[in-house]
Structures are given as C-alpha cells and as structure tokens.
Amino acid sequence: MSDLITLTIDGRPVQAAPGTSILRAALDSGIYIPHLCDHPDLEPVGICRLCLVEIEGRRPTVSCKTPVEEGLVVRTSSADLDLIRKVNLELLIVNHDYNCQSCVKNSKCQLQKVTSYVGVDEKSLRRVRKPELDHPLDTSNPFFTRDMNKCVLCGICVRTCDEIQGDGCIDFAFRGTRTKISVLGDKPILESACVSCGECVARCPVGALVPVKFEEPAYEVETVCPYCGCGCGIIVGARGGRVVSSRAVPGNQVNRGSLCVKGRFGLGYVNHPGRLTALLIRKDGELVEAAWDEALALVAEKLNSYKGDQFAAIASAKCTSEDSYVIQKFARAVMGTNNIDHCARL
C-alpha cells in the first residue's frame, strides 16, 4: 500500500502504517525487541525501559512510544543498549520472586523471555542488594490469586482495568522500594470494586496474577460462550475430557478480545457429574433417554392441550436476540397468549 511508511530496522526494510510504534513495527516484522510493559491492547507508557533502541542521529529512544517515520534507521542492539537493558533488568529481577519452577507462568512468562534474551545470571545479581519480599498473598478472590512479590510494576493490570474494563479499581500505591499495585486502602481485592472479569489476569506478563484453578490444556477449541445472548467468542481448553480453561478470541467482533467473569471463569459446570448430557423424557414415571425427533414430537403433542392464557413462555438469557424473537412470536401467533417473560429483565 502506498500510504505505508518504510524504515530500516537492523538493516532490514520494514513497512508499517502511520502512527505505529517502532516496537510494534519491529515485532510485526519478526524482529524481537525486549519489552515488559507494552501490550497491543493498551496505550504505550514506556515504564520498563527495556525496549530502548538507537535511531541514527538521536539518543537511545523508547521504541514503544516512538512512532515510525519515513527513512528512519533503527538499531535494536549495541554495546550501550545491551548494558542499559541489563542494568534495568537486574533491578527488576532483584525485586521479583524468581522461583520459576513452581510458577503457573513458567515457560509463558515475559520476564523469562526477556531475561533469556538479555542474559542476566546469578553472578550479576549478587551485585544488587535483594530486598525482603514480604507482600502477603491475596487469595480473597475465588477466581484468581494476587502475588505482589512477583509483580514487576509494568502497570499493564492498572491500564487494563482503566482503559478496557473502565473499572479503575487498582493503581500504583506507596513510594520508592515499597511501591506496589493496590486497591483503595490496600485491602484484599475482594473488598474492592473489582468485578472479577480477569482481564488483568489474562494480560499480566508474569506470575503476579494467576487463576486459582489452572491446568495446561491438551488442546483448544474456538466456540461461543454458552451464557448470555451476546455471543462472545471464546477459546475453550480441554484436557482429559474436561474443560480446564477459557480465553477470549482475539479481535472477535462481538467481545473484542474481552470476557466477563462468567465467560472466563464460569465454565466449570460443564464438568459437573450431575450435568445432563442427553435428552430425557418421562415414560411410565421414569426419565429415559430419547432422540430429538421423539422429544420434539412429545412436546408438540402436549402443547396441543393448552389454549390461550393457559400457556406461558419464559425465555433464557442464554438465547440470542433472534431466538427470543421466535419464542415471543410463537407464543403470540401460535399459542395465542401474551404471557411472555424473560429472566434478563431482572
């Protein structure tokens, strides 16, 4: 396209749309630049200072907040950049509980990825005094756990709560080495305005926010959330015939990559041993399995015995708008009644 901007990153020509940051242009072209605080769903803030690059004719620049320009020549690595990144990363890691083997985010942690790229070892960390990690574990929320000892203060959770969810229930609190992410009054998360949507959990780059119940899925299937009629796109993870995870479909036109507490954490009922998995009809006082045709024929036969206001229709909030329309049309035009209700009106 003619309106794309062309720049050079590490000797490679890269094209990007106007307004795209250098970091996003590089990542989209397969060129890795270390970063922790940047997320494609959020406005860039340049907190972590790991995405510094050298632009010809300029001083080291934060790539996540610098838009592309025609003809820019960018270097993502040099002796000076590597040293700056290493020092910044050491200061982050030394304030982080890096017992990675027992962490849910092990192998999926952005801090691990950055550390592997930059190259920080135990010897270099001995030069920096490690503070006491004494933040209490917040297990008040039934769906996710907060461990501020693993937080790197990237601010992604704060911006997610503000920019995406519009809740604004968490923010940076205290000062200096005691800075942390907190709710009003530094109370447990359950006592805040948090609605347990889990958007912050989904975007946290480290193990500071993790689901209470987590199992790595064996495979995933894209489907539609079974709760309300919004039709949010979800990706369900399964393992051993059980649903173990749920996440939003990125870029879905309905939910745009977001989920509510039900869609993200409320699919456990699928695994309940008492859940009905087949159609049942009553024969001789006993519930027995039946095929769809047999069950629908029975329902049609029973409905013939009701007239007008003897019949009432109650719709479910899990129905789509189209299904709800058909139900009310059936009640009025076929059954001859206006006795129609819907649980969503509450």
191-200 pLDDT, tens digit per residue, is 999 999 999 9
User: What is residue 2's predicted lDDT score, i.e. its pLDDT?
Assistant: 58
pLDDT in tens, 44-98: 999 999 999 999 999 899 999 999 999 999 999 999 999 999 999 988 888 888 7
DSSP at 241: T
**Region for 247 from its dihedrals, namely left if φ exceeds 0, alpha if ψ lies in -120 to 50, beta otherwise:** beta
CATH of domain 219-271: 2.20.25.90
pLDDT score of 290: 95
Domain extents for the chain? 5-77, 86-211, 219-271, 306-345
Please list the helix, strand and coil fractions of the chain in percent, rounded to the nearest 5, in that order.
Answer: 30, 20, 50
Q: What is the DSSP letter of 176?
A: G
Token readout for 338 is 């206006």
- Whether the CB-CB separation of 151 and 97 falls below 8 Å is answered with no
Using only the alpha carbons of the chain, give its radius of gyration. Answer: 27
Task: For domain 5-77, say whether CATH 3.10.20.740 is its number.
Answer: yes
Instruction: Dump pLDDT digits (tens) for 99-125.
Output: 888 888 988 999 999 999 998 877 777
Give per-residue pLDDT as tens, 299-320. Answer: 999 998 998 999 999 988 778 7
Q: Which of 23-32, 35-44, 77-86, 315-324 has the lowest mean pLDDT?
A: 315-324
The yes-or-no verdict on residue 229 having pLDDT over 90 is no
Q: How many CB atoms lie within 10 A of CB 205?
A: 24
The CATH number assigned to the domain with range 86-211 reads 3.30.70.20
Mean pLDDT of the chain: 92
1 has pLDDT over 70: no
SS3 326: helix
Look up residue 253 and give its two tokens. Answer: 């036109």
Q: What is the pLDDT, as a whole number, of residue 316?
A: 85
